[in-house]
Structure 1
Amino acid sequence: MQDLNIIATTSSPAIATDWNEGRVILAGDSYPENAFELFQPLLDWVSAYLAQAGQPLRLELSLLYLNTSSIRIMMDLFDQLEVAHQAGKSVRLQWFYDARNERVADLAEEFREDCTFPFDIIAEERA
């Protein structure tokens, strides 16, 4: 599977994957016109990785804002991780946020409540 390297725009996050490292990075705002179109390659990549790689998968999120359709996609992504975790695969999610933005921490916490896989919410001091 080819790695993804999607550049951020004003309304969509950067998306980068690394098959060899078992890593997915999403960073920025997410309110694209068509979230399904933007995120489908990522959902496909994660699905393929979980089915084929046999190695741990780590997601690193630095998402600042998500619209409703982006939230739905994140729920689909987290559901994939949950199924993999329940099947004994090693998955971990780290959601980084600016310590001054509690709204993002609250959103991440809402997501974490529905997950049993390791899900860290990490405050960062940003300038």
Structure 2
Amino acid sequence: MERFYIKAEDFVPEIDLNPDTNILKITGESYHEYTHEFFQPIFDWFEEYTKTEGRNIKLSFRMDYFNTASSKCFFDIIDLLGEYEKVSDANLEIFWYYEDGDIDMLESGEDYLEESGTNMKFIAYNSGEELPI
């Protein structure tokens, strides 16, 4: 399976999905006009990715801003991987990074946790700080 990568641009987040390391990252801003069309190849990639059982997945969100349509896609990704974890011998860790003091972004992550019931860690960072995942 190939790595899936999209470079961040205006309105488009960086997407880095690496099946070799099982580290999956979504970073930046996401508020493009055609959200579903943008995310469809990502969902296709996840569909293929989850055919292999027993992965130890680290999913990292480091968002600066996202719109409602993107939020729905993020939840669908979390839900898909959460279901995958339940039915296969897999382990899912979700890292929700938010800039220190950005209460709205923290609360968005907490909403995902409440709705999904997945294992999620919240990590505050300072602007420009290198992050481990």
- Provide the secondary structure at the position in 1 that maps to 2:105: helix
**Could you give the per-residue CA deviations for residues 61-93 of structure 1, whole angstroms, max 9, x where no partner exists?**
101211111011112111102211222421111
Could you tell me how far 1:7 is from its partner in structure 2?
0.7
8 A Cα contact 2:6 2:15, kept in partner: yes
Q: Distance in 2 between matches of 1:75 and 1:101?
A: 20
TM-score, normalising length from structure 1? 0.91
Could you tell me how far 1:51 is from its partner in structure 2?
1.5
Could you tell me how far 1:16 is from its partner in structure 2?
0.7
Q: Residue 114 of structure 1 aligns with which residue?
A: 115
Moved over 6 A (4+): none
Unaligned runs of 5+ in 2: 129-133
Could you tell me how far 1:53 is from its partner in structure 2?
5.2
Q: Residue 131 of structure 2 aligns with which residue?
A: none
User: Any residues of structure 2 matched to 1:1-127 within 5 Å, and which?
Assistant: 1-52=1-52, 54-87=54-87, 88-126=89-127
Aligned residues: 127
Q: Distance in 1 between matches of 2:85 and 2:4?
A: 23
Identity %: 24
Unaligned runs of 5+ in 1: none
Q: Distance in 2 between matches of 1:26 and 1:16?
A: 7
8 A Cα contact 2:11 2:29, kept in partner: yes
Q: Distance in 2 between matches of 1:53 and 1:3?
A: 18
